[in-house]
Structure 1
Amino acid sequence: MLDNPCVAHRGFSGIAPENTLAAIRLAMKIPEVQGIEIDVQLSRDGVPVVIHDFTLGRTTNGSGTVREHTLSELKRLDAGRWKARAFAGERIPTLDEVLEEVRGRLRVNIELKTNKQTYAGLASAAVEAVRRCGMEERVYFTSFEPGALIEARQAAPYIRRGLIVDTRSADLDRRLDEYGCTLLSIKHGRVDPVFVRSTLESGIGIMVWTVDRIRRMRELASMHPELMICTNRPDRWLLARRLPLLNRPNTRRRWLGF
């Protein structure tokens, strides 16, 4: 059986609009889901809001960048209709709203969406939201950007941090140590059993993203039971736990599309 921790990527984003309360609530309907991954930026007036893209056009009916809009302006946008008519009226949530929704139920991987030119102070603002909700022991701050991780360490050294990468560079161990990270978030195609095992044995947790095919979920799970699997489709992860071995011909034919 697949017992690896399941992390819902931007909530149950395969079905519901990503990074919305609807997606998070849908993920929580699957009791086996242990955590969610969300993306955080700052509104123009400095409020941490949950949205992936720096621009608004893909996932809302707005335009321009997130940072150009106040929280009040962002809250007037529809962040659900693009996914399906049933989700019309979903709003961009604040980080506080998401944390209140999942408190006591899920762990939260908070990706700090920033770069060298954008969102100085994002990590500090996110730390304050986490403190307000008393979630310090239930979150990870993750980022591609070293500056965000360093800022998070300065603001709250006791809150765990993780480096996001899409390649395995030769200096990966040094970077994890330099930024004080205890989690590695890595593209699933970049791992193998030896790398996963050695990373975990060194005291670094590891999460792979973004895995939506049942066969690949089971391949990754076989590498190590502590490997976290981040998916848009936690329903497929649940199927992967319950299905018989995929090397049985009748099962392979039935689920090949996944």
Structure 2
Amino acid sequence: MHNLCVAHRGASFAAPENTLAAFRQAMAFPFVKWIELDVQLSRDKVPVVIHDFSLERTTNGSGLVKDKSWDELRRLDAGSWKSPRYRSEPIPSLAEVLDLCRGKVRLNIELKTSGDMYPGLESAVLRQIVARDMEQEIVLTSFDQQALRRVKELMPELCTGLITDIRPADLSGRLSALGCSFLSMAYPKIDARLMAEMSEQGVTVMAWTVDQVGIIRSLASLHPDLMVCTNRPESWEQAMKRKSLIGNTILTVKRWLIR
């Protein structure tokens, strides 16, 4: 099918986000071809998979990710907040996630940083990717344009993408200047005109984050190459089935009319 399904932080409606449990559940859906995840650095420069800069929301820890060693982070419970079923589910390292997903599903890795918050983040992430020969299975994305520039300086050939929840007038020029061939955009900002412009520029677009079947179907109708990022892969499946059913019905009616 077109309109590829991207599992946002894994199957994060059902399982604790950005954990191996969430990634395994996402990979259990045969139509999930991409997983989106977030990466930061521990105090001792280990790339770790977690969204928030602080630990309180998704773990039993407190404080900032950047102030904790990998040994401290890996001992935290990142699952109980979601359900007792996931008690003691740990924060994964990027290395663990890459090993799980290599050759099975492609990854949209968001570099969670701002300014000089994480010196060396880009090179630490790239080392893990290159060590596994996964350059063709990855896109590195970020809100932080400096992070994207640093990635291109270190590895010009790697696919990078800008994340934005606004639609600036100079978007095409900004993407070109950054060397980005991927755009991760809040779904309300996406329309057919944007898709036509990005398609002409050779930029892949991903809409985030949408769980409602009707909205997924509406987005899919804008362009067949628009990727849809969702916490609920089952909603994507329902939307695509309905889209297929509607298309088949229209085709049947057309055939009947031209008899």
**Deviation of residue 205 (structure 1)?**
0.7
> Where do 5+ consecutive residues of structure 2 fail to align?
250-259
Partner of 1:255: none
Partner of 1:198: 197
Contact 1:211-1:232 at 8 Å conserved across structures: yes
Counterpart Cα distance in 1 of 2:204 and 2:47: 26
Contact 2:183-2:206 at 8 Å conserved across structures: yes
Partner of 1:85: 84
Counterpart Cα distance in 2 of 1:115 and 1:241: 36
Partner of 1:37: 36
Counterpart Cα distance in 2 of 1:26 and 1:218: 23
Q: Which has the higher helix share?
A: 2
Give aligned-pair identity as a percent.
50
Partner of 1:95: 94
Q: Deviations over 1:78-117 (max 9, x none)?
A: 0000001101111110111101101111110010000013
Partner of 1:179: 178
**Deviation of residue 200 (structure 1)?**
1.3
Moved over 6 A (4+): none
Partner of 1:138: 137
Q: Deviations over 1:20-55 (max 9, x none)?
A: 000000000100011000000000000000000000
Contact 2:166-2:186 at 8 Å conserved across structures: yes
Partner of 2:111: 112
Counterpart Cα distance in 1 of 2:86 and 2:200: 43
Normalising to structure 1: TM-score of the pair?
0.93
Partner of 2:15: 16
Root-mean-square deviation (Å):
1.3
Counterpart Cα distance in 2 of 1:197 and 1:233: 27
The answer to whether residue 27 in structure 2 is matched with residue 28 in structure 1 is yes
Partner of 1:155: 154
Larger Rg: 2
Partner of 2:256: none
Contact 2:172-2:198 at 8 Å conserved across structures: no
Contact 2:5-2:229 at 8 Å conserved across structures: yes
Size of the aligned set, in residue pairs, is 246
Counterpart Cα distance in 2 of 1:223 and 1:17: 31
SS of the equivalent of 2:26 reads helix
Contact 1:81-1:89 at 8 Å conserved across structures: yes
> Where do 5+ consecutive residues of structure 1 fail to align?
249-258
AA in 2 matched with 1:241: M
Partner of 2:121: 122
Counterpart Cα distance in 2 of 1:3 and 1:178: 28
SS of the equivalent of 1:236 reads helix
**Deviation of residue 245 (structure 1)?**
4.2
Contact 1:197-1:223 at 8 Å conserved across structures: no
The answer to whether residue 63 in structure 2 is matched with residue 57 in structure 1 is no
Partner of 1:4: 3
Normalising to structure 2: TM-score of the pair?
0.92
Contact 1:3-1:241 at 8 Å conserved across structures: no
**Deviation of residue 120 (structure 1)?**
1.6
Counterpart Cα distance in 1 of 2:200 and 2:27: 30
